[in-house]
Structure 1
Amino acid sequence: MRIPDEKLAEVFDRGFTVVEGFLDKQTLADAQAGLWDIYPTPEAYFADPAAFAKFTKSQFAGLRFFPYPSWGLNKVPVYPDLIDAAERFLQTKEIDCYKIELWAKYAGAIDYDQTHHRDYENHTIVVPRADQLMPQMTCFILLSDVTELDGPTKAVPLEKTRDIPLGITQTQVGDFCDDEVAVTGPAGSMLIYKTDVFHRGSNFKAPGRSRFVMPVDFKPRGWRWQGKLAWPDRTLNPGWKEAMVNMTPRQRDLFGWPPPGDPYWNAQTLSDVALRYPGIDLTPYGASP
């Protein structure tokens, strides 16, 4: 669904917003099916948690970085309505998708509670601007239903923390617990928030529960002090070539792919990129049909 302007405005005013029903049913179903190429299903996990001891090592043991074996998952971060929202939020079409993750959590694997923190520490080497210029758009796309029982992210509205200097990145344990809002919603919903918003992960409140989300982040192109992942370092991973072949030129551009008309493209690069990515349509870049 196209995100209403008022929802994007809420991110600047409140610090975050939740959009229910963001992914269409087929895209959601394809993404959910792709999860089981990477993670145990909840049924498999809870039938024998000891067989999946790696999830007990840290809160972040369930993180997996883009690309993924399934196009059903790889197409989610380049979902057209997500690109549209990022362009409007960042007020430019010159944007980079600078981080894509999957995050699986299983009840009882480990304590997932966190203190409230700001995410910008590993998204920029400086700090965000208090006047909200030069923002980054960070998102959690829910790939499973998330209720109060499912360890939801809990965010603190900006109005409660505006007096805290941006250089402070964590609060004391227990601070703002009365002000936090649990981010819940059916699968296919999306949380959009800013990197200066205090938020935290919370623990499951019932056994046998699980949570699967896809964090996706965008920034305006050219701001070299922002970022997180280097996509060339991911190109040898399973799923990368299929993703690039299946994407449109606009979607590839989010990863830094040279756009149509760029001086990079000539007879040699067209020929050799076609060899590297069998099946890719390079006609938009100047190749003969």
Structure 2
Amino acid sequence: MERFLTPEEVADALAGFHQVFAPDHQGFVQGRTPDRTQQVFPWDHSGLNRAAVHPELVAAAERIIGTRDIRLADSDINVRYAGEQLGDGFHVDVGNNTLGPIIPEDHSNITIALVLTDVQPGMSPTRMVPWGRPDSEAEPMTVPAGSLCIYSTFSTRHSATTFSAPTGYRATMWTIWCRADRPWEGRSFTYKGCGWQKEAALKRYVTEATPRQLEMIGFPPPGHPLWTRAYIDGMAQRYPGFETAPYVEALSFADGSAQIREHAESAMSGV
């Protein structure tokens, strides 16, 4: 899908890409290198985080996977530069994304590749092999910035290509989505293993995320028994700026409903 992100969203995400992770081609030539400690989600930049859990991406993942109960299994950003000598080769991202069997018709684990820069021929476009076709019929992802490709994590063969253009770079964000009830799928990922380098990024994400976006990293929705007053207050204390209102409102609604039931049951018992 071309130009999924608006120009403003692309500019915002790319600014974050450069700020927290990697330089443009000119910076690379001058000797700057990517900060690999900041390669994985979340990031201490709102534009990058918003792109990773864009509401329309979440909605697309729901429709394809077939349930609302999904989670973000992994997300990272990467870059390729003119002049780099990097390997390529067709592969399927299965070995590091599931412990279960591979069932090609099961689309419960999908990957979304979102490019943040224009990708022209020679700029290391990712090649995708349509299902059931030979590698020789792979199609290059030569698209404008803000475009995306959705594919099956388990069955879509793909490969990077040589960066043959004399200048430029390719900036890409990858997100992987799976069912929430399959903990053996996805990488046991990002914030759980990245240590202190992600402390500020985690605080930013938790305080800025909607309840639905918090569900993508494992939190239950408002109204779930987890969200007691003590738990809500604890989140606000740990993450100053955390939006408590949706959880307090759901808790108040649940308390009110319980009181109504109690009154009704009491009235019925007196009949």
Report the TM-score range of the alignment, normalised by the length of the smaller protein: 0.7 to 0.9
Name the CA shift for 1:149/1:72 in 2 (closer, same or farther; >3 Å): same
> In structure 2, what is the equivalent of residue 225 of structure 1?
184
Cα distance, 1:272 vs structure 2: 1.2
Cα contact 1:234–1:240 (8 A) shared by 2: no
Alignment TM-score, normalising by the size of structure 1: 0.79
- Aligned pairs, how many? 246
Cα contact 2:40–2:77 (8 A) shared by 1: yes
Cα distance, 1:135 vs structure 2: 2.4
Cα contact 1:75–1:243 (8 A) shared by 2: no
Distance in 2, matches of 1:65 and 1:84, equals: 22
User: Among 241, 245, 253, which residue is 1:279 paired with?
Assistant: 241
**Is 1:181 the equivalent of 2:139?**
yes
**Is 1:94 the equivalent of 2:53?**
no
> In structure 1, what is the equivalent of residue 24 of structure 2?
41
Cα distance, 1:52 vs structure 2: 3.7
Q: Following superposition of structure 1 onto structure 2, how do residues 1-289 of structure 1 map, counting pairs within 5 Å?
A: 19-37=1-19, 38-46=21-29, 48=30, 51-52=31-32, 64-111=39-86, 113-130=87-104, 132-133=105-106, 135-160=108-133, 176=135, 178-195=136-153, 196-230=155-189, 231-234=191-194, 236=196, 237=198, 238-286=200-248
Distance in 2, matches of 1:207 and 1:215, equals: 25
Could you say what the CA RMSD is over the residues aligned between the two structures, in angstroms?
2.2
Q: 1:216 corresponds to which letter in structure 2?
A: T
| Structure with larger Rg | 2
SS in 2 for 1:215: strand
State the Cα deviation string for residues 4-48 of structure 1 (Å, max 9, x = none): xxxxxxxxxxxxxxx0011122211110111221212222222x2
Distance in 1, matches of 2:149 and 2:107, equals: 20
Q: 2:203 corresponds to which letter in structure 1?
A: K
Distance in 1, matches of 2:32 and 2:101, equals: 38
Cα distance, 1:204 vs structure 2: 0.6
Cα contact 1:96–1:220 (8 A) shared by 2: yes
Cα contact 1:235–1:241 (8 A) shared by 2: no
Distance in 1, matches of 2:213 and 2:232, equals: 18
Distance in 2, matches of 1:74 and 1:281, equals: 17
Cα distance, 1:53 vs structure 2: 6.2
Distance in 1, matches of 2:182 and 2:139, equals: 31
Structure 1, unmatched stretches of 5+, are 1-18, 56-60, 162-175
Of 182-191 and 192-201, more deviation after overlay is shown by: 192-201
State the Cα deviation string for residues 108-128 of structure 1 (Å, max 9, x = none): 1222x4121111111101332
Distance in 2, matches of 1:67 and 1:110, equals: 28
Cα contact 1:71–1:243 (8 A) shared by 2: yes
Distance in 1, matches of 2:195 and 2:221, equals: 18
SS in 2 for 1:140: strand
SS in 2 for 1:28: helix
Distance in 1, matches of 2:230 and 2:192, equals: 20
Distance in 2, matches of 1:99 and 1:235, equals: 16
Distance in 2, matches of 1:284 and 1:22, equals: 29
Name the CA shift for 1:283/1:234 in 2 (closer, same or farther; >3 Å): farther
Name the CA shift for 1:96/1:242 in 2 (closer, same or farther; >3 Å): same
Cα distance, 1:234 vs structure 2: 4.8
Q: What is the percent sequence identity of the aligned residues?
A: 30
Cα distance, 1:201 vs structure 2: 0.8
